[in-house]
């Protein structure tokens, strides 16, 4: 069957259409996305403003039309931290339902981490052993660990690259004192959770998902995206530590000229790099592998698990 996943994230609204059947890997058929940066559109009261809601409704409508055009039999709509934490979330969800007919499923941070972990586990398989997963989104950082498809522990921290850039790093390039303050904040937040994970033992394999990690691995020398999903892409802590001060000293335009860095995400990269570096350091990770699958694939896999086998 052809399924669509409508992902209302903190940075983008992304429709992914796949051909999927129980027991088979989902095959991408179409992708449609728009950058809204909802995490950066919150006002002083933490609400998504009228213009942001209007843009969201219009973008969801476009995504639904694209799904219909591509023959999707079912669309699975969900939202993450930007909508989850908006003070006017109920109003936003009501507007979306009234004007598009879509009931957005708002995932908790823990659900987000668990579904992303499921996708990583299916990608790497049982032979990967105990997995530690790191995922940096626009609004939050998800961390999960476990041996099975359902992790033993999963947490979500308010350390998304978009959120932190908007709140802590307003300059272009950011003020060095702001960078130092953000580094302290990030590490203090992550350090509170490390003990909850270390009691489960050392992971056998550390993996990362998200655009942030993909971009960081690319500028550190990993293969280009056009070389395919199955090329192994790694990121070492040593390389990341060398790049963090360089990224912080660059302007957005200079970052956007780096290999693999998209123009729309370039301004968030210093904050994302600080989170990645802090997580790898505090969890004692020397090197991790970037996983092509993430939350959207996790949503699809969970849906397929509930379909009857052919």
Over pLDDT 90: what percentage of the chain?
Answer: 85
* pLDDT for the residue numbered 10: 87
Long-range pairs, 100-106, Cβ under 8 A, ≥24: 100/57, 100/60, 100/61, 100/64, 102/6, 102/60, 102/64, 102/75, 102/77, 103/77, 104/8, 104/77, 104/78, 104/79, 105/76, 105/77, 105/78, 105/79, 106/78, 106/79, 106/80
CB distance 136 to 213 below 8 Å: yes
* pLDDT for the residue numbered 308: 67
Does the pLDDT value for residue 309 go beyond 80? no
Average pLDDT, the chain: 94
**Comparison of pLDDT for 263 and 213, the residue scoring more:** 213
Domains with residue ranges and CATH for the chain: 2-106 (3.30.420.40), 109-295 (3.30.420.150)
Averaged pLDDT, 226-250: 95
Averaged pLDDT, 99-126: 97
Averaged pLDDT, 122-137: 97
pLDDT digits (tens, 9 = 90+) for 183-198: 999 999 999 999 999 9
Model confidence band, residue 229 (pLDDT cutoffs 50, 70, 90): confident
Does the pLDDT value for residue 41 go beyond 80? no
* pLDDT for the residue numbered 40: 78
Does the pLDDT value for residue 37 go beyond 60? yes
| Of 83-87, 236-240, 273-277, the least confident | 83-87
Does the pLDDT value for residue 307 go beyond 80? no
* pLDDT for the residue numbered 310: 56
């Amino acid at each position: 069957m052809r399924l669509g996943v409508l992902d209302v994230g903190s940075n983008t609204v992304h429709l992914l259409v796949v051909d999927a059947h129980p027991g088979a890997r989902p095959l991408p058929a179409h992708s449609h996305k728009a950058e809204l940066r909802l995490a950066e559109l919150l006002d002083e009261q933490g609400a998504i403003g009228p213009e942001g809601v209007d843009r969201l409704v219009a973008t969801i409508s476009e995504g639904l039309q694209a799904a219909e055009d591509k023959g999707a039999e079912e669309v699975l709509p969900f939202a993450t931290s930007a909508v989850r934490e908006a003070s006017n979330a109920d109003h936003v969800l009501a507007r979306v339902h009234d004007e598009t007919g879509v009931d957005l499923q708002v995932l908790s941070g823990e659900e987000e981490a668990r579904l992303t972990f499921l996708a990583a586990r299916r990608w790497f398989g049982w032979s990967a052993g105990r997995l530690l997963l790191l995922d940096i989104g626009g609004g939050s950082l998800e961390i999960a660990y476990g041996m099975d498809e359902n992790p033993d522990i999963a947490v979500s921290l308010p350390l998304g690259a978009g959120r932190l850039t908007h709140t802590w790093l307003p300059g272009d390039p950011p003020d060095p004192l702001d960078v130092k303050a953000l580094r302290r904040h990030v590490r203090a937040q992550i350090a509170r959770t490390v003990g909850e994970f270390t009691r489960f033992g050392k992971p056998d394999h550390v993996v990362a998902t998200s655009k942030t990690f993909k971009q960081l691995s690319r500028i550190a020398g990993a293969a280009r995206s056009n070389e395919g999903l199955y090329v192994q892409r790694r990121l070492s802590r040593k390389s990341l530590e060398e790049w963090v001060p360089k990224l912080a000293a660059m302007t957005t335009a200079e970052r956007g000229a780096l290999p693999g860095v998209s123009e729309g995400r370039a301004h968030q990269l210093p904050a994302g790099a600080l989170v990645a570096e802090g997580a790898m350091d505090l969890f004692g990770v020397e090197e991790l592998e970037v996983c092509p699958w993430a939350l959207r694939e996790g949503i699809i896999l969970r849906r397929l698990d509930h379909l009857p086998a052919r």
